[in-house]
Structure 1
Amino acid sequence: MKQRIVTGVIAAVIFIAFLVIGHLPFELFTCVMAIIAYYELIAMAKIKQNSIQAILGALAVILVVLNAEVQKVFSYDLVTLFIALALILLIVTVFSRNTFSYDKASFVLFSALYIGFSFMLLSQVRVEQSLLLLLFILVVIWSTDSGAYFIGRQWGKHKLAPHISPNKTIEGMIGGIISALIISGIFQLVANFDDPYTPFKLIVMTLLIAIFGPIGDLAESALKRHYDVKDSGKLLPGHGGVLDRVDSWIFVLPVLYLFQLI
């Protein structure tokens, strides 16, 4: 427990420092996090990190996360980028002598798209929108997790997804939603949001975060269970890997994007 607390505090201090600084330092820090999360993900599928296919996926992640900066040097379209990556990965399957299958090619493509796009949104919200908005999103995610944990431990009886995560309960998820709404309300009272982030829109965002955040966590749990992996990595002692810490964020941010809220 002591190791978990120490690691959590150090990681939080580093993250908050870059979050406050913003601009290019935060973009680069986000890119480093994305690369680590990407390699943790493909390692689950036992794809060699130094293979050409893994490196191509990592390059795609960098080009997506640092899209705003790279576009200043040369222009490219993200859809075209992933079409090119898909075709190149298929070419690799042809010449790999059956060591790199279609399944693994699909996994690399999915990993690069999911990780790259999610972390790009994390960076863009901070750099192109506001620190306040990103703090709101993160605080609501953390309050959802905390509420679900404490309510679930105290009153949880009905399992939410026992085949994936036996500790999560329906009562815990409801507690997480209530906790998120309370913290969201307090946050709005002390913060000054500009248009178009009206109280109604922020409540909608809160509900989406509180519902889809736990689903993102369960999605990663399902992936780890499929590949028989306990933690995504060992970078954060007591916590696992980067992916274990950001599984809710990287699911919530695309959801908010799809609803045109970020």
Structure 2
Amino acid sequence: MSELTKRILFAVPAAAFFLYLTYVGGAYFAALIVLIGLLIQREVSVISGKAGFPSDPLFPYIIGLWVLLSPFFHHDLAVGLAVFLLFTGTQIVKPGDRGLKSLISTSFCGLYAPLGLLALLLVRQLGNTKTGFVLTLSLLLMVWGNDIFAYFGGKNFGKNHLAPKISPNKTWEGFFFGVAGALAGLTVALYLVPIAYPSPLLLMLPAVLLVSVFGPVGDLTASRLKRAAGVKDASTLLPGHGGFFDRFDAFILAAPAFYVYLKFLEVMGYVSF
């Protein structure tokens, strides 16, 4: 069985399950995102350790849970400040350079993936449940469309490397195919899903570009971390796909970019959620 076949056989039911819980929303979707966030944090912590920056064994998850659950806290800032004080105090007293390395790596492992996935939760909470679903669906389809089009476009037409020292397989041709894929994903959400989209296509074109830029940047970030650690995949948890970090690396930066743009439209009075 080829690697591509294994990827497809796993990806189709996994995507269907993810879309179902996205549609259901509420606590089910939040629990799924929190679980994915914790699994990614575990993978990033292992990668960081192999790269020479071991993180604290506990605090990445405490920080991550605070970030991901902050929309549901009544006193999220106070809780965060308490975590910050406790974390800094316990790390800096470690002997030698362990404390400084742990302070840096734990901060990154605790914040990077959770902040990105928090944006995914916040997009799902925009407007009523149908609006939140179609917005989240459009983000998913844009990222997936970008990834699929970039892969096949780069494989068949790629000649000019995008970032050869970080990810030798990425090309500018693949990047531009990815933009077309993101646009195709957004078009599906706007015109083929029987739920009213809160914004016209013209206003969403900058979102296509943002997702097409920050999704690959998230991918390149993961590639750079793995290269520093000397590993190909974040883990082997997902058949044919590596780990959760490998599958969600694009969302970690694409989701915040999409959410910030939606809030910009809202502040400017172009949309109302």
TM-score of the superposition, structure 1-length normalised?
Answer: 0.86
SS in 2 for 1:171: helix
2:96 aligned partner:
98
2:231 counterpart of 1:245: no
d(CA) in 1 for partners of 2:98 and 2:84?
Answer: 13
**Residue number among 207, 228, 231 corresponding to 1:229 in the alignment:** 231
Aligned residue identity for 2:121: S
DSSP 3-state at the match of 1:54: coil
CA distance 1:21–1:66, change in 2 (3 Å): same
> Equivalent residues in 2 for 1:90-239 (5 A)?
90-98=88-96, 100-129=98-127, 130-191=132-193, 192-195=195-198, 197-239=199-241
Equivalence for 2:41: 38
Partner of 2:271: none
Contact 1:57 1:85 in 2 (8 A): no
Counterpart of 1:29 in structure 2 is 32
Q: What's the CA shift for 1:231?
A: 0.9
Say if 2:89 is the partner of 1:88.
no
**Following the alignment from structure 1 to structure 2, what is the Cα–Cα distance between the partners of residues 127 and 6?**
31
1:194 is displaced (CA, Å) by 4.4
Root mean square deviation of aligned Cα: 2.4
Match of 1:63 among 52, 66, 71: 66
20, 34, 59: which is aligned to 1:17?
Answer: 20
Whole-Å separation in 1 of the counterparts to 2:160 and 2:42:
35
Structure 1 residues 146 and 10: CA distance shift in structure 2, 3 A:
same
Aligned to 1:96, the other structure's residue is in SS state: coil
Q: Aligned with 1:101: secondary structure?
A: helix
1:185 Cα offset (Å): 3.1
Q: Provide the residue aligned with 2:269 in structure 1.
A: none
SS in 2 for 1:163: coil
Equivalent residues of 2:150, 2:177 under 8 A apart: yes
Match in the other structure for 2:76: 76
2:7 and 2:211 mapped to 1: Cα distance? 25
8 Å CA contact 1:151–1:172 kept in 2: the answer is yes
- The one-letter amino acid of 1:156's match is G
Q: What code does the residue aligned with 2:124 have?
A: R
Please give the alpha-carbon distance, in whole angstroms, between the structure 1 residues aligned to 2:258 and 2:16.
26
1:20 Cα offset (Å): 2.0
Contact 2:123 2:259 (C-alpha < 8 Å) held by counterparts: no
- Give, in angstroms, the shift of residue 188 of structure 1: 2.1
Counterpart CA distance in 1 for 2:10 and 2:138 is 23
Of stretches 177-186 and 30-39 in structure 1, the one that deviates more from structure 2 is 177-186
Q: Distance in 1 between matches of 2:196 and 2:204?
A: 9
Give distance in 2, aligned partners of 1:251 and 1:52. Answer: 22
Unaligned runs of 5+ in 2: 267-273
Structure 1 unaligned regions, length at least 5: none
User: Among the aligned pairs, what percent are the same residue?
Assistant: 28
Amino acid at match of 1:140: M
- Contact 2:30–2:121 (8 Å) recurs in 1: yes
- Provide the C-alpha distance between the structure 2 equivalents of 1:99 and 1:237, rounded to a whole number of angstroms: 38
* Normalised TM-score (structure 2): 0.83
Amino acid in structure 2 at the alignment position of 1:23: G
